């Protein structure tokens, strides 16, 4: 297990390197000059432009800049934002917590609601409720996140006034060590629901299919014959078996959770990484773009690894097979 974990962690390094290089190349292929934006955009003094390029070493060839950047990040220095003049680590710290809170809340919501809906549909297989859940699942997965976000905002905030329209709130709980604030809880609901609806459908469908498949197995009949109650059979036997594919779906949907967060953050004015990344791209703030991509890639890769490691916990028969199965 330890060997497997080390191998997988080492495997993260080339992925991060490849992502860094790819983003660097793309940023250099994009037209636009960060020095110009730093110098005040239109009408910038050419002498100041030259000075800025020299100060940030933007006048060096791209590959030299990239090599230097790689050297820096290996020592843990992500550089300084061209636009904000602050360390990239500080910029990431400001934006990571909002995205983490949003993604975790959405993942939790999607998992619980998806499993519940899937179980509900499986229990009523072939009936109207089953059809309704399946339809909702397809709708949820295929609705554009922008549209969904605006719809929820209009209905539950603007019309019914149940939740704030947007924003993160300014008076959430201050986390002592991190130095960043949690959102005010009522501000979190609509963005989290929007994001959760993206993956909830897939989880519900997979849960339904898994439970139906598990229901056909003899061990359930054996458990029933032993006198186990329906609840126990469902929780201890059927659901546990069905959770493996659910975890797979959740792992696969991490990317849509992260990319969906960009659109959700935009509509709900959520101060997360997605928003920071889009703005940094527009301003050609390469160090911040690189920092965001590195962080998001690392989160994605590590979260996928965590999902793999969770398999044996959900189904002990998979203990010791992770290394082979992944």
In the list 73, 88, 96, 188, the residue contacting another protein (rule: CB under 8 A) is: 188
Binding mask 149-168 for another protein (x = CB under 8 A): -x--xx--xx--x--xxxxx
Q: Please, what is the Cα angle at 264 between 258 and 268, to 5 degrees?
A: 145
User: Is residue 203 within the footprint of another protein (CB under 8 A)?
Assistant: no
The Cα–Cα gap between 231 and 273 comes to 42
Contact between 178 and another protein by CB under 8 A: the answer reads no
Question: Taking contact as CB under 8 A, which single stretch among the options 116-124, 218-226, 251-259, 279-287 is the one that binds another protein?
Answer: 279-287
Q: Does 220 bind another protein (CB under 8 A)?
A: no
Q: How far is CA 272 from CA 66, 221, 278, in A?
A: 26, 49, 10
Tokens of 43: 């009408």
The yes or no reply on residue 169 touching another protein (CB under 8 A) is yes
What backbone phi and psi angles, to 5 degrees, belong to 80? -125, 140
**Run of H or E residues at 94:** helix 88-123
Taking the complex as a whole, the smallest distance from the CB of residue 182 to another protein amounts, in Å, to 5
Q: Does 145 bind another protein (CB under 8 A)?
A: no
Residue closer to another protein (CB basis): 63 or 173: 173
Site residues (CB under 8 A) for another protein, limited to 280-319: 282-284, 310, 312-314, 316-317, 319
Pick the binder of another protein from 65, 84, 248, 259 (CB under 8 A). 84
Binding flag, residue 267, another protein (CB under 8 A):
yes
Q: Does 271 bind another protein (CB under 8 A)?
A: yes
Distance set, CA 310 to CA 106, 124, 240, 306 (Å): 19, 29, 12, 6
Q: Which value, to the nearest 10 degrees, does the dihedral of the CA atoms of residues 276, 278, 283, 286 take?
A: 80
Span near another protein by CB under 8 A; candidates 9-17, 78-86, 205-213, 218-226: 78-86
Binding mask 117-136 for another protein (x = CB under 8 A): --------------------
Tell me whether residue 13 or residue 186 sits nearer to another protein (CB atom).
Answer: 186
Distance of CA 19 to the CA centre of its chain: 17
Could you tell me how many residues of this chain bind another protein (CB under 8 A)?
81
Instruction: Name which of residues 2 to 31 contact another protein (CB under 8 A).
Output: 30-31
Tally the residues of the chain.
326
Q: Which of 8, 95, 208, 237 binds another protein (CB under 8 A)?
A: 95
**Burial status of residue 167 (CB atoms within 10 A of its CB: 0-12, 13-18, 19 or more):** middle
As given in the structure block, the two tokens for residue 65 are 């800049």
Q: Does 237 bind another protein (CB under 8 A)?
A: no
Structure tokens at 198: 């993206």
């Amino acid at each position: 297990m330890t060997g497997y974990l080390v191998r997988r962690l080492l495997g993260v390094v080339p992925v991060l390197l490849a992502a860094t290089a790819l983003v660097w190349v793309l940023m250099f292929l994009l037209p636009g000059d960060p020095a110009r934006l730093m110098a005040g955009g239109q009408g910038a003094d050419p002498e100041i432009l030259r000075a800025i390029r020299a100060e940030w070493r933007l006048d060096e060839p791209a590959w030299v800049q990239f090599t230097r950047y790689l050297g820096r990040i290996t020592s843990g220095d992500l550089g300084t934002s061209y636009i904000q003049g602050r360390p990239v680590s500080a910029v990431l710290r400001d934006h990571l917590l909002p995205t983490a809170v949003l993604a975790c809340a959405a993942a939790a919501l999607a998992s619980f609601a998806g499993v519940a809906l899937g179980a509900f549909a499986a229990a009523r297989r072939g009936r109207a409720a089953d059809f309704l859940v399946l339809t909702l699942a397809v709708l949820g997965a295929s609705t554009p996140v922008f549209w969904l976000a605006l719809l929820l905002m209009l209905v539950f905030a603007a019309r019914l006034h149940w939740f704030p329209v947007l924003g993160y709130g300014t008076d959430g709980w201050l986390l002592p060590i991190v130095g960043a604030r949690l959102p005010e809880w009522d501000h979190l609901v609509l963005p989290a629901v929007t994001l959760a609806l993206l993956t909830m459908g897939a989880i519900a469908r997979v849960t339904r299919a898994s439970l139906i498949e598990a229901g056909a197995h003899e061990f359930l009949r054996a458990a029933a014959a032993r006198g186990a109650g329906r609840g126990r059979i469902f929780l201890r036997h059927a659901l546990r078996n069905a959770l493996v594919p659910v975890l797979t779906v959740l792992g696969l949907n991490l990317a849509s959770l992260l990319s969906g967060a960009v659109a959700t953050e935009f509509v709900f004015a959520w101060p997360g990484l997605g928003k920071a990344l889009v703005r940094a791209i527009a301003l050609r703030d390469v160090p911040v773009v690189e920092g965001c991509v590195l962080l998001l890639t690392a989160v994605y890769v590590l979260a996928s690894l965590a999902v793999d490691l969770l398999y044996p916990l959900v189904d002990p028969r998979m203990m010791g097979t992770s290394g082979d199965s992944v």
